Amino acid sequence: MSSARNSDSDTQQTLAPPVLKHTLHQEQSSVLSLATHRDWIFSGSQGQDIYVWDRKSFVLKTSLRGHTEGVLALELAPAKNWLFSSSGDRTVRIWSTVDLAPLYVINPYLEAEAGDLFSLAYSPVLDTLYIGCQNTSLQWINLSKPDVKSGSQTPPSGSLTPKWHRFFDSFPQAERKPPGEDSPNLTKTLLSLRRDSRPSVITRTTATLQITAQNTIDSAHFGYMYCMALTPSPLEVSDDEAREDGAIELVTGSGDETVKVWSCSEKGVTWVHTFSGCDGGVLSLVARNGTIYAGCQGGHVKVYDLDTRTLVRTIMMPDNSDILSLSMIDTDLYTSSASGWVRRWSAHCDCTSSWQAHEGIILSSVITHDESRSDGFILATGANDNAIRVRNVEIAPPTQNSNLGPPEHLLPEPNVVTHLYVDDTLVRGLHDFVQFPSVSSLPENREDCRQAAIWLRKFLTQLGAEASLVPTQDGLNPLVLATFRGSEGKRKKSRILFYGHYDVIPAPKEGWDSDPFDAVGTNGYIYGRGVTDNKGPILAAACAASNLLRHRKLDLDLVMLIEGEEEAGSMGFAEAVKANKELIGAIDVVFISNSYWIGETTPCITYGLRGVVQANVEIRSHRPDLHSGVEGGAIQEPMLDMIRLLGTLSDSDKIRVPEFYDNVRPMQNEERELYELLSKVTQRPAASLASKWREPALSVHNISVSGPGNATVIPSSVKAQVSLRLVPDQNIEVVSQHLVDYMHQSFSKLNSCHTLDVSIERTADWWLGNLKSCWFKALEQAVLDEWGVRPLRIREGGSIPSIPFLEKELNCGALHLPMGQSSDQAHLPNERISLANLKKGKSVMERFLVAVSQFQD
């Protein structure tokens, strides 16, 4: 398994596609733009005309003619009974929606040099029309007292030859061909209409309005201005309310991959903010209730919060096709893609429905009230298949709040295996994440590790982070670096780094009750390799930040640094961090969640880890392997030397390496009282806990031999692996050197004819958190508030090399919050994590992030 499924057939959809009400066919002409009126549906064609369809009968009423190139945008001014249209002919025209007659022609500043007029937005409050131009200028005209210029224009008559358009005449994205004269959608090869074959055309002499230089911002973007929207939205289906200060803002999107916000008033237009990093040109926009949705090339929808000026989420299309149109009712977002698919998304950015609406590229869409149904709406989409599809749509019922978890009737019954509750972003994400057998120690799983990193980057992006892959060394798995950016305020934001790892250890199926790489819910637990170590905690932290971001409560930056080699010794991690410190940025505290409670019911906070020195010891003979029946007793044997050498490392209760205990920190009364408390809770002797957590230790892990290893062979080479666990305040470099020196000294006393090699394979420093820091106190309070019980302060006998390394490299402290229970079976068959622990771990993270965001500089 190298990738998780990601297609429309596999997305969790809860609503059926809407019913197709009617199909309208334009005469061999792409539908570039749409607008709806109480009586009419207006469709802007590539063949220069605006088709007018009767809303009730769906009959073509007439066509409005005057433009000489494709009609790129349509906009209504209902109170004035006006329709605005902009075109590739460098003009905007105003039409009456009462008698369907032309009223005015608006010439942009610099006229022909303005280029194609891609986008329009009309503010009824300011009675101003805004225009996005190909020459990257933003222009506007106040229509309350239009300055009518001398002269007039009469719409042309007769058949017109349509021109190829570089933006709308193109091949589907999948064909990877540039648009050109041989494009399959080329209008001039399709359109052969005669004037007398069309319905009647209303013509009238029109007055001309001119936009001045004072109403123009040159180079408003560094690319074509494809789309714009006003906020609060004046559209009829919008539930936006006017702001208390009466402010009106214009949002513009461009091929320069930015979204810009402009303040609009009677005095003109002023730049306010730029959202950058849209991962492709911005082709469509919709704004509602202080939120901007930007449809981009490559199938991304960027979701921005206007109040906090932050990226909230990123929605990604399964087919990666460009999003040329967006529409919205209530909290339901409809994305129309170049693939011909329409998808409906909930307020939680879940795809609730999808369908193929057209055989071609969808270029336009609009939602309006359905006059035949009091609470109904219609969605009209237009494409380069020359069709307009009209569908009945409803406001979707509210989905289950993902923060609350499954409703009670979906919780697992005793002794029942269930599928995971898929409407929960956290649990659904964990289910997908576990599918990747990201085993870092096995070469055959290298691609699975890479695919897991790619999936995680995409998932974090969807949650609202700015995410990327950071290479390490050749042949090693990449880091995933993501940042959830909080609201900008007057004071400096805190920056927290969450460290985790997406790699796992092997999971042979023997001993498992289910597929280790298919997360299964049973009796309130999720089973699967990596659910507790460390994929579950990673996603819990990410979902916590995303939830705060979505509710505009994230007032700090959460940086997530997730490696893919932790289970294989974190090779390349330190070097990659050092090389990318500028990219990571300044950090105030490091946060880890990669361990377990001491029991099953009481939450814990880990504040200490032992360090480790791992050494390889080898004793070699100059002879080959020999037969013990031939040479036994006549020669010195490497195995006996190894046994004697290892025996010199310790006696009954002490490690004999010189100066080993000199710097061990004595136990203070406060710590002694803590062990007594833990002893009562765990029913384990306090001395036993102390010996495992805060006292150094020696272990011999294995002895291996050359040759076949049977009982008749004297091996010529014997190897052993030895480790020392270190505690505060032992110096890891000093202890490592003393170990090597002592073993050589001890070996020399054996008067052996053999050769000894001692090498330090790996080291990790000890770590001790600061229990008096404001960060630790905030975390302890967050656990107390969520669980209703004060967490136990615990230490662990193991080592996590990255914690002390990150502390030193980033010059900050660290915190360690275990989410799993002692029975989670990490590294063992049937690894699991409690669903309650996972969700409460997410909630603890949310509480902590909110609390520390209030810290003063």
- Token pair of 91 as six digits: 């003009």
Structure tokens at 114: 């303005």
In this structure, are residues 482 and 560 in contact, taking their beta carbons and an 8 Å threshold?
A: yes
Indicate the pairing of strand 495-501 with strand 557-563.
Answer: parallel
* 3-state secondary structure (DSSP) of residue 166: coil
Query: What sign does the CA torsion over 634, 640, 645, 651 have?
Result: negative
CA dist 395 → 15, 55, 348, 368, 582 (Å): 11, 21, 15, 12, 46
Q: Is 637 helix (H, G, I), strand (E, B) or coil?
A: coil
The DSSP call for residue 400 is P
DSSP for 190-202, written as a single string: H----GGGSPPB-
Question: Could you give the C-alpha distances from 707 to 617, 657, 703, 712, 758, in angstroms and in order?
Answer: 17, 32, 13, 11, 21
The interaxial angle of helices 425-434 and 835-852, nearest 10 deg, is 120
* 3-class DSSP assignment, residue 481: strand
Single out the residue of 335, 276, 352, 255 nearest to residue 300, CA to CA: 335
- Dig out the tokens for 594 from the structure: 């990669």
Q: Computed over its alpha carbons, how large is the radius of gyration of the chain?
A: 34
CB 770 within 8 A of CB 689: no
Q: Check if the beta carbon of residue 138 is closer than 8 Å to that of residue 217.
A: yes
Are the beta carbons of 841 and 427 closer than 8 angstroms? Answer: no
819 to 452, 520, 840: CA distances (angstroms)? 22, 19, 8
CB neighbour burial string for 146-162, b if at least 16 within 10 angstroms, e if fewer: beeeeeebebeeeebeb
Tokens read off for 110: 């610099």
3-state secondary structure 214-225: HHEECCCCCCCC
Cα 667 to its chain centre, rounded Å, is 45
Q: Calculate the alpha carbon distances from 55 to 125, 321, 394 in Å.
A: 27, 31, 18
Half-sphere exposure of 158 (CA within 13 A, CB side): 3
User: 568 — phi, psi (to 5°)?
Assistant: -115, 20
- Alpha carbons 125 and 243: distance in angstroms, whole number: 12
CB 336 within 8 A of CB 345: no
What is the DSSP code string of 669-682? HHHHHHHHHHHHHH
Query: Of 95, 72, 86, 51, which Cα lies nearest the Cα of 198?
Result: 51
d(CA 474, CA 504): 20
Which residues are designated catalytic? 503, 566
Q: Using an 8 Å Cβ cutoff, are 139 and 211 in contact?
A: yes
Please state at what angle helix 732-748 crosses helix 638-647, rounded to 10 degrees. Answer: 130
Distances (CA, A) of 339 to 214, 294, 323, 359, 568: 41, 18, 9, 8, 42
Residue 440, both tokens: 């870092």
Tokens 């068959």 locate to 829
- What is 347-404 written as a DSSP string? TTS-EEEEEE--SS-EEEEEEEE-TTSTT-EEEEEEETTSEEEEEEE-PPPPPPPTTT
Burial class (CB in 10 A: 0-12, 13-18, 19+), 220: buried
Output the six-digit token pair for 250: 């214009």
| 3-class secondary-structure state, position 521 | strand
* Separation between Cα atoms, residue 280 and residue 254, nearest integer Å: 9
